[in-house]
Amino acid sequence: MNFIPDQSYSNCSWKEKEQIMTPLFYEQDFLKNQKKTLIDRYRKEQPHKPIPIMKF
C-alpha cells in the first residue's frame, strides 16, 4: 500500500513519518481480518447461499 503524504508531512523526518504511518498499517490489517471474519461467519450460517459482495 502506498501513501502519499500531504505538504504538512513533507518536512517531517523519517522517524516522524514512521510514527504517523504505523497506525495506518495496523488499521489496514484490522479491516482485512474483520472482512475475513464476516465472510467466515456468513459461510457457516448460510452455506447454501453465495457470498455477497462486500466493499470496505
Per-residue confidence (pLDDT) for residue 2, from 0 to 100: 59
Per-residue confidence (pLDDT) for residue 40, from 0 to 100: 81
3 with 21: CB under 8 angstroms?
yes
Please choose, from the candidates 45, 2, 41, the residue with its C-alpha nearest in 3D space to the C-alpha of residue 54: 41
Give the domain ranges of the chain. Answer: 14-56
At which residue does the C-alpha cell 484490522 appear?
30
Q: Give this prediction's pTM.
A: 0.33
Q: What is the pLDDT of residues 8-52, one digit of tens each?
A: 556 667 677 666 666 666 666 666 777 777 778 878 888 777 766
Q: What CA–CA distance (Å, rounded) separates 23 from 30?
A: 10
